Structure 1
């Protein structure tokens, strides 16, 4: 009974202590909120996306009983198969359900302006009147149905977002070329939303304009009343097997099965996004852990007198420990609950940002699941309690008489043991990373794992030895930074080194964030340098024509044809890809339409590289390893969905070239593949992703560029670039990817900044007497503010410098391991590194703003009397 009464008393003491120190409570809770908010937001965002895509999948398959598609992704079916499908018993209606990716532009102020969809798809599709359509209901709400190759109907949300009206003229570009059309009508569809742009052209005109005229990819079927989708699918399969054995295993599925497959693919994609976002949430939580631990350490240090009094009144050591842990549980629960609420807001913000780019999705609301609430709640509480455990044990172990002394006792504990363990872990981490780098004969996976283990050792070792390291380094930084401020600067340098444990823990949150940014920055710089290097070696033509910088759209065939007619052009060659395997070697196949030597980067090893006759050329190392010799007939095969490959023809090996990273293992001439295009989904042309152009010398480079741009002006997706500009365009994709990572890592840096604010604010509370004494002996408010600000700058710079060293070291190790994967260059983003260090100094100034003002307002006599 007495034990229960004592426990209840300690709980009341803990609750009153939390209520009495509101600022301290808010600062501690804030660190928990940030980490848990990101995890909660990640889970809710992916759950909401899942709900949205489930709705879209259900809508897109509504009204479709059976789907008949080509046996392999990218392959085709004959268009006249639609008539045969319509004659199968149980089939009511048949629609060609092809979707062709397009880019659309409209004329504004005399210039063509591309309609930006912000990443959402833009498709051209066949139009069927409502009575003949299979699938979701589509109805004209303004204007008339499209008729002929010059008219299209546009979905209502796209018309609204782009201010499109009936009668407006558009330019539509696909892989074959550009097509001028007029909007005849605007239609509604129940799955409309986001940035989606859907153009519909009546079915005969669509076939003539957007297909090769003889093949398509997919048919949608509606069953007659009384016929179930499963029954119809079975009947269609049997009929195709009997009447069209030449088509092979045509894919016949019910609409429900197609929807389930789409949902499974979306689940897989979203699970990756979820893991990715949660990983960064955990990084923020780890950074927050250091801040929470630091905060509880300071709180325990400040409350030593209080604990001493409780011990002298008979409170047991275990009760004090439990009391501090109880406070941590309260902080963890409150912070985690607020984090979940913040996660809801974060999800709304993400949707709003996506919507502002025009790539928004139909908003089905934030989907709050049990997991998205419980996981961050449990994680937040566990992390908070673990962070408070060591300070709680110190509180319980305090001796009453010793605790009566003023000052922070934690600063007086020896660092020898901690530093020794830290040095050992650091050296073991470095050794593991070096072993991973030096094992050049092993696979990339095991070597990367060794570097990963080394990184963990380095980070943990740095954390443990950081207090000892901070003593000379922070004072050195303080000497440089504080020199212009005289005595105030020297005092700030002394204060920063007075409690190395606290300084190191505060700085380490920033160290971790900066290290990650530096490592990723080095990886990105090296990727861009590698791309520039191999493109510089591979592309030496006068100009390169390419599609949009995101690489999602090819150069239209008509652009290649137009460029070849330009006065001053000697030769133009198109380079693309098709899903064909050469000689059984599964290395991917490049397709060349024209002379590949126009690129300027191919160096012949044997034979002729011009491909002036149907054939193939190959990397000399690949040819040697496969036993190919010039003149051999190599089989061209296509891999089927169920695994086996089907031979579709042969091509003669006309020559070999020295290894070339841009062109890969082999190049097949389009003249060799064109007769086989229907079997590999090539249609009337290959997808061209670059056109290499050389002038004949009759005009200067600028005039040639002007003529090329004029010839491709109506091909709105085409860019005319020098080889250097082309390399830069490829690097843009890397920057876009890295910007996403940096935005996520910014959260860890924000948490670190709040940690510095937190530490400084609590430091000011702890040093109230000291600051009061300084004010009493004549220190001005401005001098106190400068002192606190300089301390923050020193801590920030120390954390940033250590982070840069760790990040660049680990970045180098990972790059050495990845050298065999195409990262041939190692580059250090020095501008970014210097920028991070300078920014860290600014972070210190910002972080110190509120604590410095608070310190300057301390009343001397009241503080001394405490």
Structure 2
């Protein structure tokens, strides 16, 4: 019993010691806590953001289906639009009070010569149903009159307010069919909580003839008679359609439709969730090095304290538990603050989204159990794991040996660590090279090998970097310290005193820089591949292209307008259709395995196409294929191949056959197969693809006769295509630049996310230097006593920080470029066959690392310079 009381008393004493230590050294732990805060805030914010988005879209789904009792849409197995006559059948079904054609046509709108932006929200035209005829969210005219005829529309009030549209204003509306000039007859409010979108409504018959094929609809919305439930109406409508011999339709209740929309949104958001959490974990991984370094230095500085406690009877286990307990407190505080910061981050993201005009409804920050518990567990776990080794060192020291001060870890040999690291490094390199050289294996398997190799290289580099730091860091110090003479020489020796500490601090930056280098190399290679593809395959003088984001095709009328321009000798168009040939999709840089490309005209006019057999002229019906694709599929010249639909979300259907006209040498732009426009157009006109958006041309190539200067001809083309709003007239090099914009946007997002890891690494340098200054208090005091000025002390600490930063950056660049090369070699089979190194970015990262060192040293350098000489010597 007395033993138990003694153990309890000892444990209580150690808890008090731990808490008193934390309370007495708040400053030295605040940056460690901040490292935990940043990582957990990102993870918590990601979980809250996706949960809030899910709640937002659930709210929108409920708003858009409010008042809708039943929906009738094309069967997913066919995807074919519904004949308009079905609307009459539905109106006669028992229990049906109202029927609305729910077809919406995606449009682009221009007002006063300015294309209206929606911030990612939709812009559509649909049919106007006055007053009580409306099914779904209620629309109420607040100004003007209802639309009449095919030249009048009403506009939603949020768009009218944002874009300063008034009754009587003229709008230019572009859809896939062409350009429409309309006048605003009225402004309406709608019971949908969410701005940003543009909703144009036109009188029903006028809408059908202007914005649709006039024969089909993409769906109908039904309202029930009073007292009829949604389930009863669904049963009655299903029965009525069956009696009328209608098939290929899907009947759902309004609640079912809302639930399916919510499920689809949740599935889409899950990727965003995992993507953001991954970068939060990267920040936490980088934070582990900071936390481990901090606790190692703290343990070293408290050596005498631990020795005294051991001599008083405290066991090794109790000391270890005490340090781990401090880590738990740091982890809990950091994670809790991180959760709160995550909520603030989510609110900030919503504010930024709102500023773009998207106008998502503000449903508040949605805090889930997972968004609190997950970062809390991860924060504590990462902190404890990081502090475990220093805690073991604290408990493993014998009382007499611990009476000396200094960092015990610095005295031990680096041999075991270096040998282990070298083995891991070699194994990692071998695995990565295996992934690169085994090109008979699939891309996925090769990428896994390179990924495992990358892990081995990173772990090996971390372990070896301590030994590397012994010769390399002083060499860097001598170079950058040369202009500062004695202060520079002194700084070059300081960083090599404890290579473990230097390597751990630098590796946090190494990891962040390596990831930036990998992504930078990927981006540079993608842009080089795009530029090479355009140079090698596009031989036209000018390119007519739609929006840079590829969100809207070129209206077919633009083709005729461009052909009529004086000086234009030939215009051909290229697009992507949702069809396959015998179930085979075209694998090209444009189609990426979806559907097949088609040409309007002869593809030899547009780019470099080398004919092998037959003819590659696509002015008539038929298709052409690459020589390898024809051999792979067993196609022969003149053979009729089934033409199948490949509409997203629908089963494939055979809609006809096309003949193989000829073959060509493998071509990245054309891909495996290209179909003529003459073979596609009839099926598009018949509504076989559900939506014309899937089969519209994405670019036209224009050729000139040379008698007119290219700039003048470009001006003429711009004059005739301005009416189409979405059309850009570009040179081939400018067209390549628009494709590179997507790469830049992707990289900007990745860099912004990776910046979190770099910030954590900077905090690590600050923390290490600050604790290092405390540890070297006597040394700095002695330097001050023998005449070193405060300015010289500041420069010394700053130079030490720059050495660490440059060392971490150089190692990170070397590792990142090597791993980037390996991954790109694996991706060569996927069309990314050009490897480019962004040398400007590489130099920029190294220079920036020096700046990071200067900034990181600002506070520790001032702290060191203010050290009282006599007091420090007396410690």
TM (norm. structure 2) is: 0.96
Contact map agreement 1:196 1:359 (CA 8 A) in 2:
yes
Match of 1:692 among 667, 684, 701: 701
Partner of 1:101: 106
Partner of 1:78: 83
Q: Distance between the aligned counterparts of 2:414 and 2:648, measured in 1?
A: 63
Match of 1:591 among 588, 593, 598: 598
Partner of 1:201: 202
How many pairs are equivalent? 860
Q: Distance between the aligned counterparts of 1:49 and 1:429, measured in 2?
A: 40
Q: Distance between the aligned counterparts of 1:522 and 1:565, measured in 2?
A: 44
Partner of 1:63: 67
Q: Distance between the aligned counterparts of 2:334 and 2:308, measured in 1?
A: 30
Return closer, same or farther for 1:841/1:606 CA change in 2, 3 Å cut-off: same
Q: Distance between the aligned counterparts of 1:532 and 1:74, measured in 2?
A: 37
Return closer, same or farther for 1:574/1:681 CA change in 2, 3 Å cut-off: farther
Match of 2:95 among 90, 94, 98: 90
Contact map agreement 2:547 2:727 (CA 8 A) in 1:
yes
Q: Distance between the aligned counterparts of 2:528 and 2:517, measured in 1?
A: 16
Match of 1:704 among 686, 702, 713: 713
Q: Distance between the aligned counterparts of 2:194 and 2:160, measured in 1?
A: 11
Superposed CA offset, 1:557-589 (max 9, x none): 121121111111111112112211223323321
Q: Distance between the aligned counterparts of 1:649 and 1:778, measured in 2?
A: 93
How far the C-alpha of 1:244 sits from its partner, in A, is 4.2
Contact map agreement 1:36 1:336 (CA 8 A) in 2:
yes
Q: Distance between the aligned counterparts of 2:226 and 2:647, measured in 1?
A: 35
Contact map agreement 2:60 2:193 (CA 8 A) in 1:
no
1:127-138 matches, within 5 Å, as: 127-138=128-139
Q: Distance between the aligned counterparts of 2:694 and 2:796, measured in 1?
A: 71
Q: Distance between the aligned counterparts of 1:602 and 1:640, measured in 2?
A: 28
Q: Distance between the aligned counterparts of 2:773 and 2:127, measured in 1?
A: 71
How far the C-alpha of 1:64 sits from its partner, in A, is 1.3
Superposed CA offset, 1:742-784 (max 9, x none): 1110100011111111111111111111111100000011100
Q: Distance between the aligned counterparts of 2:648 and 2:313, measured in 1?
A: 76
Q: Distance between the aligned counterparts of 2:482 and 2:131, measured in 1?
A: 80
- Secondary structure, counterpart of 1:116 in structure 2: coil
Partner of 1:166: 167
Partner of 2:591: none
- Secondary structure, counterpart of 1:350 in structure 2: helix
Partner of 1:498: 497
Partner of 1:218: 219
Match of 2:37 among 23, 27, 33: 33
Partner of 1:661: 668
What 5-or-longer segments of structure 1 have no aligned partner?
Answer: none
Return closer, same or farther for 1:506/1:276 CA change in 2, 3 Å cut-off: same
Contact map agreement 1:212 1:684 (CA 8 A) in 2:
no
Q: Distance between the aligned counterparts of 2:492 and 2:49, measured in 1?
A: 45
Q: Distance between the aligned counterparts of 2:333 and 2:693, measured in 1?
A: 64
Superposed CA offset, 1:249-301 (max 9, x none): 22222222222221111111111111111111100010111101110001001
How far the C-alpha of 1:38 sits from its partner, in A, is 0.7
Question: Are residue 763 (structure 1) and residue 762 (structure 2) matched?
Answer: no
Partner of 1:304: 303
- Secondary structure, counterpart of 1:712 in structure 2: helix
Superposed CA offset, 1:448-479 (max 9, x none): 11111111111111111111011111111111
Return closer, same or farther for 1:486/1:685 CA change in 2, 3 Å cut-off: closer
Partner of 1:613: 620
Worse-superposed segment, 478-487 or 309-318 = 309-318
How far the C-alpha of 1:684 sits from its partner, in A, is 11
1:464-475 matches, within 5 Å, as: 464-475=463-474
Superposed CA offset, 1:307-361 (max 9, x none): 1122222222111111111111111111111111111111111111111222241
Contact map agreement 1:42 1:278 (CA 8 A) in 2:
yes
Partner of 2:569: 570
How far the C-alpha of 1:642 sits from its partner, in A, is 8.8
Contact map agreement 1:674 1:685 (CA 8 A) in 2:
no
Superposed CA offset, 1:41-77 (max 9, x none): 1111111111111111111111112222223576322
Contact map agreement 1:155 1:192 (CA 8 A) in 2:
no
Contact map agreement 2:300 2:405 (CA 8 A) in 1:
no
What 5-or-longer segments of structure 2 have no aligned partner?
Answer: 587-594
Contact map agreement 2:623 2:676 (CA 8 A) in 1:
yes
How far the C-alpha of 1:682 sits from its partner, in A, is 5.5
Partner of 2:530: 531
1:107-146 matches, within 5 Å, as: 107=112, 112-146=113-147
Contact map agreement 2:56 2:360 (CA 8 A) in 1:
yes
How far the C-alpha of 1:683 sits from its partner, in A, is 5.0
How far the C-alpha of 1:230 sits from its partner, in A, is 2.5
Worse-superposed segment, 728-737 or 134-143 = 134-143
Partner of 1:782: 791
Question: Are residue 383 (structure 1) and residue 390 (structure 2) matched?
Answer: no
Q: Distance between the aligned counterparts of 2:470 and 2:123, measured in 1?
A: 60
Superposed CA offset, 1:201-225 (max 9, x none): 2222211221122222111122222
Q: Distance between the aligned counterparts of 1:153 and 1:643, measured in 2?
A: 34
How far the C-alpha of 1:166 sits from its partner, in A, is 2.3
Q: Distance between the aligned counterparts of 2:23 and 2:647, measured in 1?
A: 68
Question: Are residue 721 (structure 1) and residue 712 (structure 2) matched?
Answer: no
Superposed CA offset, 1:509-548 (max 9, x none): 1001001110111111111111222222221111111111
How far the C-alpha of 1:232 sits from its partner, in A, is 2.6
Q: Distance between the aligned counterparts of 1:757 and 1:815, measured in 2?
A: 35
Q: Distance between the aligned counterparts of 1:347 and 1:460, measured in 2?
A: 34
- Secondary structure, counterpart of 1:714 in structure 2: helix
